[in-house]
Amino acid sequence: MADLALAAYEGLDREAARCFRLLVLHPGPDLSVDAAAAIVGCTPGAAARRCAQLVAADLAAAAPARDGMPSRYRVPAEIGEQACAIADTAPDCDELRARLAQWYLAGAHTADEVLTPWRRRDRIQITGLPADVVRLPSYDAALEWLEAEKDSLAAVVTDLADQQPLLAWQIADALSPLYLLRGTPVLRRRLEQNALDCAEQLADPRRTAQALLRYGEALHEHGEPAQALALLRASRDAATRSHDMWGIAAATEAMAIAASSMGAHDEAYYLLTPQRAAFMHLGDLRRAAVTDLHIAAVHHARGEIDQAIAVLADAETLLHAPDAAPDPYTQAMVDIARGRTLIARGEHETARELLVGALITMTTLHALAGQAHAMHHLGELALACGDTALAQTRLHSAVRLFTACGNDYQAAVVARLIAARHPDSGSGPATRGSA
């Protein structure tokens, strides 16, 4: 097979041979036609023809592609060793590797800007390719690109980590919208660890603080608050060393959230309140609103419903300030929190309107965890209204959504609520309320 592969390769024209070497050098599971075109330097149509030529010569195989997305190709495993020998000794090997890494950096950064325009991020410089080499004209296009390329992005980060830690860190950092909207916890934990290794290799306290923060948040989201706290304290220390006031506030806020999840609500409140003031001082109104969201959660956990409602009203004001960037995700999270507090006050109709509206927004944003939170509290609303059948449907939907985004910890929380309330074992007809 190896001899046949070598003979087939030697029979290729120059452009097809370059496409073949790119497929071999790509560290991910498969490569899209659009990527091949940009990296090799041709049109997508020409790249598609060259990839088809490789398939006909048994030097490539078509890989499954998402509906409406570019075709994808890979090198068959049976010729992998011979293919690597060919690509690694080619004079354009280093050039292709560099252009491939830059293409993924450009795409990840573009998707990040489209999906979370409010997020703090580093400036990047694309070299060897046009800065707009990956065009993602809409929110849906950006999210589809991230979904389609996530495994390849992970492979590129891992491949670059030792030799080009800054580039690997930048790509890993740009994947935050994927984690926010789609979950992917296993992938996130692995890449956050990679990002931390890269930051430490760079001896960069600010990037180390950010990587520790994200890694700690990933652990906390999935039920490991004690382990998360250790990383978050280290993040705060690293941010302090680099005099990064925003990083100090973000790490301290995350520590408070972890503490609250372990029942230390007074400690959480003590930590959170100064951070809101810090974000306000830094002019980050959106992040101050997010801190309000967490302060309200502490009030709710302590049974202080009126205080929670007042704090959420402050968050609303910040999100709608004249100079605030639109942030429908955080607005929907505030609406979910307001709905939850209003359930506790017995204001069921207003709670329903808020939660349904938030569910629609999260569905439009394709935010699985956000949909799950909204459905969870709609289930609680149905329970409060005495509609056990509807509660069962909504809570089971929440479990499925949390599971789909990989949040097994939160799925288990809702599953315990189902078991505790036994919504499917009522002795009589369900009573319809205003849920």
Residue 67 lies in a domain: yes
Of 91, 114, 134, the residue that ends a domain is 91
The CA-based diameter of the chain, rounded to the nearest angstrom, is: 77
pLDDT given at position 422: 65
Query: Tell me: the pLDDT tens digits for 120-171?
Result: 888 899 999 998 999 999 999 999 999 999 999 999 999 999 999 999 999 9
- What's the rounded Cα separation, in Å, for the pair 238 and 234? 6
Q: Residue 237 domain-assigned?
A: no
Overall number of domains in the chain:
2
For residues 74 and 29, give the distance between their C-alpha atoms in angstroms, rounded to a whole number.
7
Asked if 153 and 175 touch (Cβ cutoff 8 Å), the reply is yes
Residue 200 · residue 238 · CB < 8 Å: no
Statement: residue 424 has pLDDT above 70: no
Two tokens, residue 340: 């939850």
Of 56, 91, 126, which one is at a domain's C-terminal end? 91
70, part of any domain: yes
In whole numbers, what is the pLDDT of the chain averaged over residues?
Answer: 92
The CATH number of whichever domain residue 392 belongs to comes to: 1.25.40.10
The pLDDT value recorded for residue 428 is 38
If pLDDT is split at 50, 70 and 90, which confidence band does 423 have? very low
CB 149 within 8 A of CB 178: no
pTM: 0.91
Q: What is the pLDDT of residue 430?
A: 40
- Which of 30, 65, 91 is where one domain is finished? 91
Q: What is the CATH number of the domain that holds 74?
A: 1.10.10.10
Inside any domain, residue 32? yes
Question: Residue 331 falls within a domain, yes or no?
Answer: yes
Q: Kindly state the average pLDDT of the residues 186-195.
A: 92
Is the per-residue pLDDT at 426 higher than 70?
Answer: no
| Domain-located, residue 304 | no
The pLDDT score that the predictor gives to residue 4 is 66
Judge residue 10's burial from the number of C-beta atoms within 10 Å of its C-beta, 0-12 exposed, 13-18 middle, 19 or more buried. Answer: exposed
Domain range for 389 is 327-435
Strand, coil or helix: what is 354?
helix
Does the residue 354 lie in any domain? yes
Is residue 425 in some structural domain? yes
Q: Give the mean model confidence (pLDDT) for residues 202-211.
A: 94
Confidence of residue 268 (pLDDT cuts 50, 70, 90): very high
Q: What is the mean pLDDT of residues 361-373?
A: 97
The percentage of the chain sitting over the pLDDT mark of 90, rounded to a whole number, equals 80
pLDDT digits (tens, 9 = 90+) for 311-330: 999 999 999 999 888 899 99
Question: Per residue in 375-411, pLDDT tens?
Answer: 999 999 999 999 999 999 999 999 999 999 988 888 9
Residue 215 pLDDT greater than 70, yes or no: yes
